[in-house]
């Protein structure tokens, strides 16, 4: 059961990341490469100036990737805390004398609720990331 929940969550997060990559990141990559090519086309610039120019071109994409990574890490941390809480509740129930099948059902229900709750957060997280990435490209 937990594996099924994990696959469900991974699929949803993967779809979100692919959408962000297609709609935002890829455009930023194209802009970065065009900007970098323009830097290289400047025949009067020194090697250091070209290098600095290219670094400036790469900065927005690096910032965007950092933002996405940080948001995904926060999301993963929240989900992990939720599932750890489920494990703690199951352990407490088992220690209090509950039978293993009952504890397993309780654990599966709790983990399923964590997944459902966090799946519901994905649309707002996606919106927030899109808005942030749009402002990063300006």
Residue with the two structure tokens 């942030």: 132
Which residues, in sequence order, are CB contacts of 120 under 8 Å at separation 6+?
none
Quote the mean pLDDT of the chain. 93
Q: How many CB atoms lie within 10 A of CB 94?
A: 16
Residue 84 reports pLDDT greater than 60: yes
The predicted pLDDT at position 6 comes to 87
The predicted pLDDT at position 138 comes to 66
Mean predicted confidence (pLDDT) in 113-122: 95
The predicted pLDDT at position 44 comes to 95
CA atoms within 13 A of residue 134's CA, in its CB half-sphere: 7
Q: What are phi and psi of 42, to 5 degrees?
A: -75, 100
**Cβ atoms 71, 125 nearer than 8 A:** yes
Residue 41 reports pLDDT greater than 70: yes
Q: 135: pLDDT confidence band, cut at 50, 70 and 90? A: confident
C-alpha torsion sign, points 57, 63, 65, 66:
positive
Q: 60: pLDDT confidence band, cut at 50, 70 and 90? A: very high
Residue with the two structure tokens 């297609």: 22
Mean predicted confidence (pLDDT) in 37-54: 96
The predicted pLDDT at position 137 comes to 72
Question: What's the pTM?
Answer: 0.83
Q: How many CB atoms lie within 10 A of CB 43?
A: 6
């Amino acid at each position: 059961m937990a594996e099924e929940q994990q696959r469900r969550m991974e699929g949803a997060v993967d779809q979100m990341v692919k959408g962000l990559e297609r709609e935002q990141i890829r455009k930023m990559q194209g802009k970065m490469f065009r900007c970098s090519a323009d830097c290289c086309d400047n025949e009067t610039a020194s090697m250091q100036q070209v290098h600095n120019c290219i670094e400036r071109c790469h900065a927005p994409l690096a910032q965007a990737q950092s933002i996405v990574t940080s948001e995904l890490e926060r999301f993963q941390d929240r989900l992990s805390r939720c599932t750890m809480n489920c494990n703690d509740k199951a352990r407490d129930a088992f220690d209090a004398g509950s039978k293993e099948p009952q504890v397993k059902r309780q654990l599966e229900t709790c983990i399923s609720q964590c997944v459902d709750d966090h799946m519901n957060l994905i649309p707002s997280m996606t919106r927030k990331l899109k808005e942030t990435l749009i402002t990063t490209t300006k």
